[in-house]
Amino acid sequence: MSKLATKDIIVEIADQLFYQQGYQHTSFADISNEVGISRGNFYHHFKSKDDILDAVIQRRLANTEKMLNDWQEDEQTSLEQIRCFINILIMNRAKIKLYGCPVGTLTTELAKLDHPSLIDANKVFSLFADWLEKRFLDLGQKENAKELALHLLARSQGIATIASAFQDETVLYREVETLNEWLTTYS
Amino acid sequence: MSKLATKDIIVEIADQLFYQQGYQHTSFADISNEVGISRGNFYHHFKSKDDILDAVIQRRLANTEKMLNDWQEDEQTSLEQIRCFINILIMNRAKIKLYGCPVGTLTTELAKLDHPSLIDANKVFSLFADWLEKRFLDLGQKENAKELALHLLARSQGIATIASAFQDETVLYREVETLNEWLTTYS
DNA sequence: ACAATTTTAGGACGGCCGTCCTAGAGTGCT
DNA sequence: AGCACTCTAGGACGGCCGTCCTAAAATTGT
């Protein structure tokens, strides 16, 4: 029982630290200190640091998929479902202010490292993009549903980047409002 | 003569490498190999790695200021001047696809490192923001010139992030077009 | 031409990194 | 109770990092 738990805890802690400190800047010592296990014990659960990164990405993919499904079940209209996506920025504003968007900052880092896991990390973006595309299709945007999805993705990325750079929430609130007004055009 | 030149070359190479590989991931060995000088010789020109980072940021600030002044002189209307800003995305599309926006990715990295130079790195953003604000003021947007400037900054950041994540130029071209259409609203 | 100063090369240093190894502790099954 | 297996702790290992030191080379000023 605790076998799986320990492994899951490692991934959970690594997920947080990779987000807050970046992948490179997070060492095994950091993770093991936080988890409370010895440094050497790591390699019983994972082959390498890259292996942990892969596990973290898989975890994020699963969590994202679950979140999107929940929104689909909880909200009635496609418009309200899309607003759930926009609302992440408000919900996570405190962390975004400090560390930016978890998805965007990881892909940015991996791109610069020319890291092979960039492809997998991008799948989180793709999950959002595909899901948003379906909502826009449902709103009758047959021609440019994919374009609108990527546009919304880009807008939210920009908001997170600026809010993090200036460590400021007011620009985040204002831009989210602008984004919601933009969305009204497609209702 | 060569005294200043060597120092400048170091900063120039460091600037490129910090952009392409990230600050942390760029080592003294990387820079010295590229410049063609010995590793030990570095500390005659700079006190530390952070010292080089500061020099790189100062260089970027100077270059940005020069670029903005050039646009001001070359283009007649404020609208055309703003379009110069948007057009950076097209001009630098190849590099943006690979490494993202130099300003945004550096601030993102420094924010995660909790690095003291984040404040200075942000000044590049502020240069753009203040400059854009004045153009929007000139376009008669007295009430929300600053908001429009930050909005444009955020939009371009988002485009760079998505283009880099998906290593794709088509989304960049399309989003720039959307951005230009948006700007027409304020002419 | 010579002394003073600046610039350079190259190695040495501690430190932290990811990784690996080994011995012991814990656990479950018969 | 005894055995097999899983899990854990802690240290050892090469390697690279940023930094520092020293001595020689190049440059400058007079």
For residues B164 and B100, the answer to whether their CB atoms sit within 8 Å is yes
From the alpha carbon of B2, which nucleotide's C1' atom is closest? C7
Instruction: Go through the domains of chain B in sequence order and give each one's CATH number.
Output: 1-47 (1.10.10.60), 57-184 (1.10.357.10)
Q: Tell me what the mean pLDDT of segment B157-162 comes to.
A: 98
Of residues B39, B34, B42, the one with CA closest to residue B16: B34
Q: How far apart are CA A87 and CA B172, in angstroms?
A: 25
Binary contact (B165, A111; C-beta < 8 A)? yes
The pLDDT > 70 percentage for chain B reads: 98
Q: How far is CA A27 from CA A47, A91, A108, B43, in A?
A: 15, 29, 19, 27
CA angle, B7 as apex, B1 and B10 as ends, to 5°? 135
Q: How far apart are CA A179 and CA B86, in angstroms?
A: 20
Distance from CA of B29 to the nearest CA of A (A): 16
A92 pLDDT band, cuts 50/70/90, is very high
Q: What is the DSSP letter of B168?
A: -
Report the mean per-residue pLDDT for chain B: 96
Mean pLDDT of B2-27: 92
Helix (H) or strand (E) holding B180: helix B170-184
Residue B167: which H helix or E strand, with range? none
pLDDT band at residue A187 under the 50/70/90 scheme: confident
CB contact under 8 A, A155 and B155: yes
Nearest chain A Cα distance for residue B100, angstroms: 7
Q: How high is the pLDDT of residue A180?
A: 98
Look at residue B2 and tell me whether its pLDDT is greater than 70.
no
Average the pLDDT over A50-56 and give the result: 98
Closest nucleotide to residue B44 (Cα to C1')?
C7
pLDDT tens digits for range A112-149:
999 999 999 999 999 999 999 999 999 999 999 999 99
DSSP state of A142: -
Decide if pLDDT at A4 tops 70.
no
Inter-chain residue contact A108 with B113, CB threshold 8 Å: no
Measure B24 CA to nearest chain A CA, in Å.
8
Angle, helix A2-21 to helix A49-74, in steps of 10 degrees: 90
Q: Which nucleotides of C are covered by protein (CB under 7 A)?
A: 6-12, 16-22, 28
B151 to A178: CB separation less than 8 angstroms, yes or no: yes
Pairs of residues, one from chain A and one from chain B, whose beta carbons lie less than 8 Å apart:
119
Would you say the C-beta of B4 is within 7 Å of strand D? no
Tell me which nucleotides of strand D come within 7 A of a protein CB.
Answer: 6-12, 16-22, 27-28
- Taking the CA atoms of A78, A79, A80 and A84 in sequence, report the sign of the dihedral they define: positive
Residues in chain A with CB shorter than 8 Å from the CB of B22 are 24, 109, 112-113
Closest CA to A151 of B67, B162, B82: B162
